[in-house]
Structure 1
């Protein structure tokens, strides 16, 4: 292990300890068990070597948001016991490719994508866990996702599709909005979904800047990038 790799490993270990401390404090404040929170390391723009270092530190869940970066990274790390989450906006024509390596797709926001992911999963002989991405933005052109009124229908399509299983919901707090209010709304949507689909227990909410509010509102999965890996100064080629 070279000096630079050793230094990077130490940096990631320190960052991970800090993030886990934040999660523990947020759970203590909310009366929740930190063991029930799944930390997803979002490694977009960072190399596969960072994924390996994080795996060595105990990270088991990795998130990516661009197929052209995620596919080769997942292939390079295929020997590691990782769960790969696709968390970015997904074009329908990329669904087959993503279904070949992702274990979870968190950004399902339309019926055509459900059909495409189902076809891809069946072709790859895999089962893909899917979350409905919910738009919490009152303004058009926000962070993406299905309107809250569309969630039950999309969830039903996922639950009934070959090769797919319904996992729950995902959302990003709207820019400039109070994340606590946004995540409270998501929690209500998630509760309604669980009433119809008890297996849909995942609530993916919270990133580096708002993980405390997400934990307070019942998030089960946190998508952490910058706080764990640092600023994204360059795109991986």
Structure 2
């Protein structure tokens, strides 16, 4: 607590790096907006925080190719992804950051393939095959998953989404730290439902949720952003003491 208070008193000088991973193909819709609110929460605690957005659909890459270069003892790529492409440097940058926000829509009861491929490349090299899984990531830092979905909270539970979505959460916890989990339910997929074949949904009900509930979800996301910032200060106190860190 004392450490947090000292860091808070110097927050104008703090320069910490946070990475925001948008796993949606859309840059200005539900997932991105929730992430933007979480970033606002971070900035309210750490005004000088450096926010690095990564839109996964902007990049061309594959998931893990099972070359096992990251596991080869004394190999050139031990502990890092051996595959070199457009995200190689991003993976290394994230591992040196102070916090990670992961935003994901839910497609077919899971995260989009593009996002899963990115997380495979990010997490697997740091996962050590000991008798128990351990991590050789350069540092520990707070992380959070922000899920947006068309399903209601009741439907999410009926379809066991918490279990279906838990794999990457589990490995993120091993590699970096146990992630915070955020769910946003019953989101609007379209601006005008009349333009699409979607009779199973009521535009009136969807727009009501968007008007009445989504702003509350945005506020919840901002609060979680604040929590992530505070955890980052506690987990990496040396960063908060270095005003020149960028």
Does TM, normalized by the shorter one, top 0.5? no
Q: If the length of structure 1 is used for normalisation, what is the TM-score?
A: 0.32
Q: If the length of structure 2 is used for normalisation, what is the TM-score?
A: 0.31
Which fold has the larger relative contact order, with Cα–Cα distance below 8 Å and residues 6 or more apart in sequence? 2
The structure having more radius of gyration, on CA atoms, is 2
